[in-house]
Amino acid sequence: MKKLIFLAFTATLLIAFSSPASAQLKSTCKKALFIGAHPDDPETCAGGTMILLKQLGCDVVSVYLTAGESGIKGKTHEEAAAIRRVESANACKVMGVRSLWVGQVDGYTEVNRERYAQMKAIIEAEKPDVVFTHWPIDSHRDHRACSLLVYDAWRQLDHCFELYYFEAMTGLQTMNFAPDEYVDITSTVDLKHQAIMCHTTQEPEWMLDEWHIPMEKMRGNEFQCKAAEAFVHQRWRSSEIVK
Ligand SMILES: [Zn+2]
């Protein structure tokens, strides 16, 4: 019931997500959160969709579970976090979206009762109608933690937002990912790459050439467009037991 009421308030924008079987799934979106474990995750995994939603009038927030404290060799956690916060701020400026920091530490993410409550409180306060986060089967521990925290919040909040999973460097990090929704990002892919290039400490040119551009092309081939991002839509049934 809560979900139906919530969607009734947000039924203004039509975003076209489509299945590979070509049936069009129309989803409404006024506010979307993209929750990643590290400063470059939302933009690399779903930046084209983030920009597209923003251009369509949706309020888009890039949420970072950690500040990438362990992501720059030779730098302390504090130094790396400061640098990577600036990189993300620049990327968000390119995409035209707002950033939000959860405050966990890169490489030391926790999944416990306090962290579940924290993620639930953040999402509850933002009141999104769509949330994207990591697919849970991933070689990176922080990605798995992020996915579990968001999934738990979605359950505890009575499924009041649509939940989608994105992929991160599939084959190296994300595994067993079989998408059921695609977004054509042909019109936004160049801006997405500009945002990724803001993460100067993360070898962005290599990351684009080796991983992100091939993935965009592969998903584009599957969806019969130049470049696409792919997602898994979380299903549920009203008889679920929430614990
Ligand atoms: Zn990551």
* pLDDT digit string, tens, across residues 133-177: 999 999 999 999 999 999 999 999 999 999 999 999 999 999 999
Q: How far is CA 27 from CA 20, 175, 186, in A?
A: 16, 26, 19
CATH number of 2-8+31-233: 3.40.50.10320
Ligand 1 centroid – CA 68 distance (Å): 8
Ligand 1 centroid – CA 6 distance (Å): 31
Provide the pLDDT for residue 193.
98
Q: What is the 3-state secondary structure (H, E, C) of 27-85?
A: EECCEEEEEECCCCHHHHHHHHHHHHHHHCCCEEEEEEEECCCCCCCCCCHHHHHHHHH
Provide the pLDDT for residue 236.
87
Provide the pLDDT for residue 238.
76
Ligand 1 centroid – CA 106 distance (Å): 9
Ligand 1 centroid – CA 167 distance (Å): 10
* pLDDT digit string, tens, across residues 67-124: 999 999 999 999 999 999 999 999 999 999 999 999 999 999 999 999 999 999 999 9
**What Rg, from alpha-carbon coordinates, does the chain have?**
17
Provide the pLDDT for residue 9.
31
Ligand 1 centroid – CA 125 distance (Å): 24
Ligand 1 centroid – CA 126 distance (Å): 22
* pLDDT digit string, tens, across residues 179-206: 999 999 999 999 999 999 999 999 999 9
Ligand 1 centroid – CA 81 distance (Å): 14
Residue 218 in this model has a pLDDT that exceeds 80: yes
* pLDDT digit string, tens, across residues 24-60: 334 568 999 999 999 999 999 999 999 999 999 999 9
Provide the pLDDT for residue 237.
81
Ligand 1 centroid – CA 223 distance (Å): 25
Ligand 1 centroid – CA 113 distance (Å): 23
Looking at every residue in the chain, the average pLDDT score rounds to 89
Q: What is the 3-state secondary structure (H, E, C) of the chain?
A: CHHHHHHHHHCCCEEEEECCCCCEEEEECCEEEEEECCCCHHHHHHHHHHHHHHHCCCEEEEEEEECCCCCCCCCCHHHHHHHHHHHHHHHHHHHCCEEEEEEECCCCCCCCHHHHHHHHHHHHHHCCCEEEEECCCECCHHHHHHHHHHHHHHHHCCCCCEEEEECCCCCCCECCCCCCEEEECCCCHHHHHHHHHCCHHHCHHHHHHHHHHHHHHHHHHHHCCCCEEEEEECCCCCCCCCC
